[in-house]
Amino acid sequence: GDSVTQMEGPVTLSEEAFLTINCTYTATGYPSLFWYVQYPGEGLQLLLKATKADDKGSNKGFEATYRKETTSFHLEKGSVQVSDSAVYFCALSPNTGGFKTIFGAGTRLFVKA
């Protein structure tokens, strides 16, 4: 079945460091891919998305490129801030009219001042 695997955390970085959180997926067909962010004590918010191969999603300085050849959707940011500390979830949605978005386990990011 479809699945999402993302790097285990926690990831601890200093402010202004470069961030990469790896995400790979297994799916039949051509799923849509998402990154969600969860700040402490809150629900998840959509951070960015890509719906087809080679699409790049971007938002708030974060970027991720849909790589079909490597089945990856790695999240990157050039310079993290303390306010980026949160849990990041990679997810996929099968484009088959189904109703199930599949989430990775989440990666906790700590950014130190």
Query: Tokens 């989440």 identify what position?
Result: 106
Region from 22-30, 53-61, 69-77, 85-93 binding other proteins, contact rule CB under 8 A: 85-93
Please tell me whether residue 57 binds other proteins under the rule CB under 8 A. no
CB 73 within 8 A of CB 27: no
Closest approach, Cβ 101 to other proteins, in A, equals: 6
Which of the stretches 22-30, 57-65, 74-82, 91-99 binds other proteins when contact is defined by CB under 8 A?
Answer: 91-99
Which pair of structure tokens corresponds to residue 57? 């999603």
Integer Cα distance of 22 and 7 in angstroms: 5
Is the CA virtual torsion 4, 6, 8, 13 positive or negative? negative
Task: Point out which residues bind other proteins (CB under 8 A).
Answer: 31-32, 34, 36, 41-46, 49, 89, 92-95, 97-101, 103-106
